[in-house]
Amino acid sequence: MIEILDPGFLTTVQDAGRYGWLRFGVPPSGPLDAVAFQAANALVGNAPGAAGLEITWTGPALRITRDALIAVCGADFELRAGRRAVPTWYSVVLRAGEVLRFGARSNGARAYLAVDGGIALAPYLGSQATYLPGRFGGMEGRALRAGDSLPLNPGQFDPFAAAGTCWSPSRRPSYRPNPTLKVILGPQREAFSEEGVATFLSNPYTLSATSDRMGARLQGYAIVHTSTGSSISDGVIAGCIQVPPDGQPIVMLADHQSTGGYPKIAVVLQADLPLLAQLLPGDQVRFQAVDLVPGDGC
């Protein structure tokens, strides 16, 4: 079991996501930073989508009741197990009953904890991912609380023999407070004036404190539409950027709705979404348009 002593600001159970249900209005959920999530699982020998913890802003204190191989990837937290420091982006052994505490955070917004074997809660619609607005998945569809206990699958190997593996710094996302995110313009570029597109691509936008797992709300120079700022609702995916009538863009994230009626000026490349996931309110982003590279016909 993982015993939650202190849940931190917002800690939820997430796995690879709940796919195949979007046509019924159920979003995929899953980790906002898929790279850090999958790296943590790889370090402890799990499948890429095995259920772990997404930890936001301030971290938890927790106890694991068996010897376990763990890894924490993503935001840089000070971690301690008893008196010893625990590095991030490494596989580390926690002895049965040892308490892992998350301390100060120096970079990024979200970290991911994986334990060998993975969390073993009952799936909902085929997934353990927590969807907070719907109140399902994970631990009763909610953030973790002090006193919660999460069952674990058995580990597959001796954790002491597998410890000490590092996820190379060269393979980690380059988290920073003011990234430039690559985008493909469209699918409704024609809904915006040339001035509006130029504004979007030439100015910084600040992450609002009203952002959540559904969408990153940005504030900055208003993006000018060519008409009313609304359109016929159509499909939404993670990374698409909707622009409401007020001209302030919203980047859809893992808990996005299935359809939306605000025009979409662009879509963030999936490879750059982890950079957005690690921003704090007040951080800024810029957008850079890139072209689709023609394929070879395959």
Cα–Cα distances in Å, from 258 out to 40, 71, 217? 29, 33, 17
231 CB burial (10 A radius; 0-12, 13-18, 19+): middle
Kindly give the pairing relationship between strand 84-86 and strand 61-64.
unpaired
pLDDT average, residue stretch 91-106: 94
Q: Any alpha helices (H) in 11-95, and if so which ranges?
A: 34-43
Q: What is the CATH number of domain 180-289?
A: 2.40.100.10
Q: What is d(CA 118, CA 33) in angstroms, rounded to the nearest whole number? A: 18
Q: How far does the chain reach from its first CA to its final CA, in angstroms? A: 47
Query: What's the pTM value of the predicted model, to 2 decimals?
Result: 0.93
pLDDT of residue 228: 63
pLDDT of residue 77: 95
pLDDT tens by residue, 188-222? 989 999 999 999 999 999 999 999 999 999 999 99
Cα–Cα distances in Å, from 234 out to 239, 262, 264? 15, 9, 10
Residues of the chain with CATH 2.40.100.10: 180-289
pLDDT tens by residue, 8-56? 999 999 999 999 999 999 999 999 999 999 999 999 999 999 999 999 9
For residue 162, what are its two tokens?
Answer: 């597998």
